[in-house]
Amino acid sequence: MVDHLSRLRIEDIQTEIIKETFSDEQLYVLHSSTRPWYADLVNYLVTKEFPPSLSTFQKDKLQVDAKYYFWDTPYL
């Protein structure tokens, strides 16, 4: 909003009411996780057990992806 206000000309400010919203304003939400993307993969390689929260499709995908990695302590 500050960027928009800094670009207004002085003439526009004096004759026009400044709007608090913009017509094309959108709100985006980013979800972040504290776990790295490879956490489930490492846990599966070490314990050979799937995380309980995974669906059947996710378990199959994890198993297929695990073929391309190996665990050599402490490296993946």
> What is the tens place of the pLDDT at every residue in 2-54?
677 677 666 545 556 666 766 666 667 677 667 788 888 888 988 889 988 88
Amino acid at 56: T
Q: Write down the pTM of the prediction.
A: 0.50
3-state helix, strand, coil in the chain (%, to 5): 40, 5, 55
pLDDT at 64 over 90: yes
Amino acid at 3: D
Number of CB atoms found within 10 A of residue 44's CB: 20
